[in-house]
Structure 1
Amino acid sequence: MITSFADLLHPHDPAALRAAAASGTRLLLRTDRARQFAGLMPWERFNDLVTADRVLAGDIEFARNNAILPAEMTILRPKRQKPPTRMRAAALHHYAQQGVSTVINGVERFDSETRRLNAIFERAFRAPVKTNLYASFGRDSAFKPHWDGHNVLVLHLHGRKHWRSWGQPWRAPLSHATCKVPDVLGEPEWEAVLEPGDILYLPRGEVHAAALAPGEDAMHLTIGIATPGFEALTAALAEACQAEEIGRQDLPILADAAQKQAWLTAAKQLLHRAVDALDLDAVLTLLDQRVEPLQAGFLGVDRRVHPDTRVVPTLRRPLGQAGAHGEPGRTVQAGTQSWTLEGIECHILALVMADAGHTVASLSAALPEIDATSVRDGVITLARKGLVTVRN
């Protein structure tokens, strides 16, 4: 079970991955977490996720070398209401033998463990993440060499896959229309075979491809990290300008030339003041506070908290410096919700945000100055507020 960013990367220092992300540099880390990675998505759970309704909705695709199979090739839709739409099992096995990969887009929507994993990455990178699952069988790959419009973190779960990279021909590209990958590429500048427990970081714009090791099945998760760009600053500027009347006005489209010039002069002065007052840390904190938490279980929690109960945070962004130190009376903002935390709640939340592997017993051990009953009550209070979920 992966419980924290550090746990995921063990034995590597998380600072190495953060440094690669900050500099836009490719990085391969071979961890000692092969067994835990396999547990992130066992083959059995993967098969349970592949359903006809998800194929119909476009959430699951079957792909080979950039070609997506039509849904009708993998599902059977009856002419009448009954029997229900179902998968073409024999056809799927045939396509898999022909090298067709299964792609589950946004797998966190259907799998609670992936949602919790995503929350770990969102707290580490302070950015929205989306996870796609790729399962390949026997040969070929889902896509030809390409680049992604977001940063990518690959977690290799099962089997082996040969990855190649041709570097970053364009710095910070935005449009695939203007930054097209050539049909014929030269020798890759980097290549490696990924095995279970391996992590590969690819910055936005890195041209890459992956192919199966001959005769193997493989599965990996691709975590897309949508790091905020310059538009986050311009949005913050626009919001700051709304504190003054001119910043809330419509553009003077129907005004005469003199009125337009006067309005533009005043608008420029307002923008200059807003730029001078701009604080990047304040903008990032504001972005953090706008993210809704994960949905928490809340029914019958009082009778489901025991010493070995695991306490998992629902917040998808870090608490910030004040929250991390556990000051009582702190207000926590997450999306449209806010909570005031008192005393022990602050301490417990700070601990589980740092490591989602805490149990009620380990929280008591980490807070020796507080009696065990109070720790349990604090966990229950946080669960009722929706800030943690409990798992037995």
Structure 2
Amino acid sequence: MSTQEFLETYWSKSPRYFGGEPTRFQDLLPWGRLGQILQENRLDYPRMRLSKKGKDIPQETYLKYETTRRGTRIPQISLSDLNAHLNDGCLLVVDAIDEMSPSIRMLCEKCEFVLGEHIQVNAYAGWKKTQGFSTHWDDHDVIIVQVHGEKAWRIFQPTRDFPMYLDVENPPPPLAQPVWCGTIKAGDVLYIPRGWWHDATPTGKPTLHLTFGITNRTGMDFMAWFCERLRTNPLFRKDLSRFSSCEAQENHLSLLKQAAFNELNILRTRHFFNDYDARAKPRVRPSLPWIVLQSEAKFDGHEIVEWVPPRRLRIDRDDVSLYFHALGKSWEFSLKADAMLDALEKHRRLPVMALFGKGMEVGLENAQVSAFLIELLNNGLINVYDAI
């Protein structure tokens, strides 16, 4: 199944299971790497937590806190207590593990580029047959990637259309039988849209899966964006008169309705998405030491350049320049930069030597390409790293 077919047929509509080779994701998060993450990071509750039968285990039963002489409180895992809880059937959860694993982060960024939304990845590890969470629904879409072992899943129909975080009412629990049951094994993928009830149960063997959480834009986001646009009209900035006559208040309201309708009538969904994408924030990744050495930067061609904007560019061109919006700003460059920008967006990471080649195709010398890259670096459009 192609990506386009999946997005058109299943995305935000219905669950979908995809089988895969058992070794497909084993290098994404080896068991040893998960252990390193627990060792190398000062993880506190709730970013790292234990759960059993739908309830979080009190963190003081597996986390100890040491206070330094300067008053800093440092969380430390009590290995003996952690081991006891895991042997008792608890589920280990690590939130936002994409921020601690380069391989997961890179996969995350590729998915974000296609889906147009920020993604957070959480890790779930279990060893016994006890459920970590009871049957529940999520307020965002999830893509489950089974890295090691297996889990038995059940999926139930939504009991409220498109439930939301902080909704006006909660969906009632499902009473009908599940619409899908199956065992997800290493290498498999399961997609569950927002609002579909589900649960997962380990089978008694070590199991580790990653959940890619995606919060899609809704009509509420569109209306919030629309209301912000109305600030440009003085009619909407004007005070509502509490003390005018009923006739004057009705006249004012009629003007507001008509102005809002006129503005809404010319808008299209693509206007919202274009503006949303143009303001998308990148993941924080300081380009050291290059960001400090911009004026002295000299490229020998072996450095690696990383493209920063997380969304697709929508480029306009005239006879001499190209224009696009990204990172909340408007950008203008010479048409000679077109091939270099296209290559950066397409590949995301490139050696400077490849960009020297792109520049040469349009008559640019290496020094001119270097100056262009320094400008991109200075404006946060690229990161630069020394080749490893």
TM-score bracket, normalised by the shorter chain, equals 0.7 to 0.9
Matched with 1:352 is 344
The separation in 2 between residues aligned to 1:34 and 1:366, in whole angstroms, is 37
The separation in 2 between residues aligned to 1:275 and 1:211, in whole angstroms, is 47
Matched with 2:233 is 244
The separation in 1 between residues aligned to 2:301 and 2:259, in whole angstroms, is 57
* Match among 317, 332, 337 for residue 311 of structure 2: 317
The separation in 2 between residues aligned to 1:274 and 1:137, in whole angstroms, is 56
- Report the count of equivalent residues: 372
Shift of 1:342: 3.6
Per the alignment, in what secondary structure is the counterpart of residue 224 of structure 1? strand
Matched with 1:203 is 193
Distance 1:356-1:199 versus aligned 2 partners, 3 A rule: farther
State whether residues 348 and 379 of structure 1, in contact with CA within 8 Å, keep that contact through their aligned partners in structure 2: no
Q: Which amino acid in structure 1 is aligned with residue 60 of structure 2?
A: E
State whether residues 163 and 193 of structure 1, in contact with CA within 8 Å, keep that contact through their aligned partners in structure 2: yes
Deviation per residue, 1:200-252 (Å, 9 max, x gap): 211111111112233x2222221221111112221233233333211222333
* Match among 37, 56, 59 for residue 49 of structure 1: 37
**TM-score, normalised to structure 2's length?**
0.82
State whether residues 149 and 206 of structure 2, in contact with CA within 8 Å, keep that contact through their aligned partners in structure 1: yes
**TM-score, normalised to structure 1's length?**
0.81
User: Which aligned pairs between 1:282-297 and structure 2 lie closer than 5 A?
Assistant: 282-297=271-286
* Match among 25, 38, 41 for residue 14 of structure 2: 25
Distance 1:113-1:381 versus aligned 2 partners, 3 A rule: farther
Shift of 1:286: 0.8
Matched with 1:133 is 123
Question: Can you give the 5+ residue segments of structure 2 that lack an aligned partner in the other structure?
Answer: 291-296
Distance 1:280-1:80 versus aligned 2 partners, 3 A rule: closer
Matched with 2:361 is 369
The separation in 2 between residues aligned to 1:330 and 1:189, in whole angstroms, is 49
State whether residues 140 and 216 of structure 2, in contact with CA within 8 Å, keep that contact through their aligned partners in structure 1: yes
The separation in 1 between residues aligned to 2:118 and 2:74, in whole angstroms, is 36
Confirm or deny that 1:265 pairs with 2:254. Answer: yes
Shift of 1:110: 4.1
User: Which aligned pairs between 1:140-179 and structure 2 lie closer than 5 A?
Assistant: 140-174=130-164, 175=167, 177-179=169-171
Distance 1:353-1:211 versus aligned 2 partners, 3 A rule: farther
* Match among 173, 176, 180 for residue 181 of structure 1: 173
Give identity over the alignment, percent.
20
Q: Which amino acid in structure 1 is aligned with residue 379 of structure 2?
A: K
Q: Which amino acid in structure 2 is aligned with residue 70 of structure 1?
A: P
State whether residues 159 and 172 of structure 2, in contact with CA within 8 Å, keep that contact through their aligned partners in structure 1: no
Q: Which amino acid in structure 2 is aligned with residue 68 of structure 1?
A: D
| Cα root mean square deviation, aligned | 3.4
Distance 1:317-1:254 versus aligned 2 partners, 3 A rule: farther
Q: Which amino acid in structure 1 is aligned with residue 288 of structure 2?
A: L
State whether residues 298 and 384 of structure 1, in contact with CA within 8 Å, keep that contact through their aligned partners in structure 2: no
Distance 1:140-1:346 versus aligned 2 partners, 3 A rule: farther
The separation in 2 between residues aligned to 1:195 and 1:390, in whole angstroms, is 39
Question: Can you give the 5+ residue segments of structure 1 that lack an aligned partner in the other structure?
Answer: 1-11
The separation in 2 between residues aligned to 1:297 and 1:305, in whole angstroms, is 21
The separation in 2 between residues aligned to 1:224 and 1:366, in whole angstroms, is 37
Per the alignment, in what secondary structure is the counterpart of residue 17 of structure 2? strand
